[in-house]
Amino acid sequence: MRSLSRRYWALMIMWGGLLFVPGLNVYGDEGKTGATEGKTELFGREARESTPVIGRDPDQPLSEREKIHHVLSRFSFGATAEMIDEVEKIGLEKWFETQLKGEELESRKLQAHLSKLETLTMTNQEIVQKFGIIPKDLSLANRLTTEQRRRRAELLRRRYIPRQQLKDAVLFLAVYGNNQVRETASDFWRNHFSIDVSKGVVRYYGNTYEREVIRAEALGTFKAMLNKQARHPAMLVFLDNFISRATPQKELLAVARKEFAKTRDYSTVLNAIDIAKMKGLNENYARELMELHTLGVDNYYTQADVIAVAEALTGWTVQQDPSKPIEFLFRPEMHATGARKILKVRIPAYPRNPIQEGQAVLDLLVKHRGTAEFIAYKLCRYYVNDRPSQKMVERVAKAFRRKNKTDLPTTYRAIFYDKEFFDPANYQTKFKRPFEYVVSALRVTNAEIVSTAGIHQALLTLSEPIYQCEDPTGYYDQADVWRDPGVMADRWQFGVGLGMGWIPGVEIPASYWEGLEPNNPLQWKEVLSKRILPMGHTEKTDKALEKVIAKYSRFNPKPEQLGRYIVGILLGSPEFQRQ
């Protein structure tokens, strides 16, 4: 800063942070007029639940502008005043139907960013060959020279380039993408069919997974997406199905002979054979396929079903020789052929085409009513309310199952056109996940991203690094998970850091401050509030802003100085956490 030092503004942030910290009253005696005497300041869940929807009667239906704001808050990564005006001109339904096609021309800015990420268009084989192979002469089994050690260290660092470029691409598309329905849908399915690119060779397969599974089918069909992820190297390796195998008959025969020689008891021999069969079987993918991807936790299936599905999917593995295309491979010698009963349905054996046994399981799960119910519930929870009504879920599930197509645009339409979607009870009731918060903050400030390192560090601090959820559940989208006051304090720090220009590689452009009148801080507050919170803010946030302005305007700051701090407070406000 020219007239005010960085240390001075840091002190402002420390003081301003108290505005939203629980248990501390920074408003003095004046501030008590806006709150009950003796009440602590609210934060996290309490702040969200006690903050009324701005300037509206909760019993009145949403106005047209509020409907636009509602849709843009759910089917895009944050509503801006400009977007609301644009959608108002072309019509909300027309905007939504156009978005469902996913064919909007992307900006030159986005294209320029993506063009620098070479791995986005590479195959698994090309990525492994370029970033994943350490030459034999650089093996630690050799006595390496200093130069060889340096080269080896450089090659090891390069292993992280594919996953870093994948994370950058997800971020750029969310922030700058014009096809926002595709982006929000991709965000949902990325967490539904979750993988962790920190796990082993999954770091090399994540780029094609995002391109060929998530983005390719986010506006396609659930059936196609389920089948693609079941055959993708990233998922097969992440959930260990690539090593799941039937125990060879020779081993089973040896076990049987050994046990019979010891006990001469046929029942004991059969038990020993059953145990031996399980040694090569891996249930991870089979369990998550039903629990997380289709039916939901403990819905319809039993442990016996998990084992049967795991057996049906034995042999579904990956060709990982980098001299050949790295892709799905079915190996009959690993497969446990046989007829099975799964979800009370008999799946016959296919000795001449054993891969069909696994395919029959996927077909069964796609058509199962439990899958429609679970997917509809999760989509309604993501787009509508943390606790969607059962009636709405049933209507959306019916659209999902129509003609067994599992068409996703049809399902999104069912949500958008449902009579409950625009119910005032669902307006501004969702709480932003860290990813949604960071992306919406970058979008609403027209932030220019030169480097993504600071943003990824912020997402790591906020506990939601892209594509790095260790748990196959993916990141949860309910408010309860993200209400921790410590995490909320980190959000506030990011908001102020973004406003002040302290996030490395990220800057709010000079054009953002245009229209701010010199020596008129109250006008700055009004203009910036409308840009960041286009539907208004609470009296409490207004008082907090006025308190800061009154305290520091006597230093005659320039718009891009105090204005930056106003932006930070608005981004950290309880209102901006909602969508």
Give pLDDT tens digits for 212-233. 999 999 999 999 999 999 999 9
Residue with tokens 């195998």: 245
* C-alpha to C-alpha distance for 317 and 331, rounded to whole angstroms: 7
* C-alpha to C-alpha distance for 476 and 530, rounded to whole angstroms: 30
CB atoms within 10 A of CB 105: 8
Residue with tokens 């669902």: 426
Indicate the Cα dihedral angle 174, 177, 178, 184, nearest 10°: -20
Nearest to 316 by CA among 301, 325, 303, 327: 327
Per-residue pLDDT reduced to its tens digit, 226-258: 999 999 999 999 999 999 988 655 564 555 566
441's tokens: 């903050």
CB atoms within 10 A of CB 383: 22
In the prediction, which pLDDT does 121 show? 97
In the prediction, which pLDDT does 447 show? 97
E strand or H helix at 330: strand 327-330
β-sheet bridge partners, residue 330: 316
577's tokens: 């956490």
β-sheet bridge partners, residue 221: 407
Helix axes 485-500, 559-572, angle to 10 degrees: 160
Q: At 309, which amino acid appears? A: V
In the prediction, which pLDDT does 404 show? 87
Q: Is the pTM of this model over 0.85?
A: yes
Q: End-to-end alpha-carbon separation of the chain, Å?
A: 33
Per residue in 309-327, is it b (16+ CB within 10 Å) or e — as a string?
bbbbbbbbbbbbebeeebb
Helix axes 92-101, 64-74, angle to 10 degrees: 20
* C-alpha to C-alpha distance for 502 and 375, rounded to whole angstroms: 40
Residue pair 336/314 in contact (Cβ under 8 Å)? The answer is: yes
What single DSSP character describes residue 279?
Answer: T
CA-angle at 442, arms to 3 and 81, nearest 5°: 95
Alpha-helical segments (H) within 140-278: 146-158, 161-176, 180-192, 202-209, 215-217, 222-230, 233-238, 249-263, 266-278
* C-alpha to C-alpha distance for 288 and 431, rounded to whole angstroms: 27
- Cα–Cα distances in Å, from 290 out to 85, 151, 185, 297? 43, 45, 21, 8
Q: At 444, which amino acid appears? A: V
Cα 405 to the center of its chain, rounded Å: 25
β-sheet bridge partners, residue 329: 317
Strands 506-507 and 448-449, by their bridges, are antiparallel
* C-alpha to C-alpha distance for 337 and 353, rounded to whole angstroms: 10
* C-alpha to C-alpha distance for 293 and 284, rounded to whole angstroms: 12
Domain locations along the chain: 6-102+431-577, 241-246+281-367
* C-alpha to C-alpha distance for 419 and 414, rounded to whole angstroms: 10
Nearest to 494 by CA among 437, 436, 560: 437
In the prediction, which pLDDT does 572 show? 92
- Cα–Cα distances in Å, from 468 out to 9, 208, 382? 34, 16, 20
Q: Is 252 exposed, middle or buried (0-12, 13-18, 19+ CB in 10 A)?
A: middle
Residue pair 440/429 in contact (Cβ under 8 Å)? The answer is: no
* C-alpha to C-alpha distance for 256 and 250, rounded to whole angstroms: 10
pLDDT tens per residue, the chain (579 residues)? 333 344 444 444 444 444 443 332 332 333 333 333 333 333 233 333 444 456 667 889 999 999 999 999 999 999 888 999 999 999 999 999 999 999 999 999 999 999 999 999 999 999 999 999 999 889 888 998 999 999 999 999 999 999 999 999 999 999 999 999 999 999 999 999 999 999 999 999 999 999 999 999 999 999 999 999 999 999 999 999 999 988 655 564 555 566 556 676 656 646 654 554 555 899 999 999 999 999 999 999 999 999 999 999 999 999 999 999 999 999 999 999 999 999 999 999 999 999 999 999 999 999 999 999 999 999 999 999 999 999 999 999 999 999 889 999 999 999 999 999 999 999 999 999 999 999 999 999 999 999 999 999 999 999 999 999 999 999 999 999 998 877 788 999 999 999 999 999 999 999 999 888 888 888 999 999 999 999 998 888 998 898 888 887 777 666 667 889 899 999 999 999 999
Strands 345-347 and 340-342, by their bridges, are antiparallel
In the prediction, which pLDDT does 485 show? 78
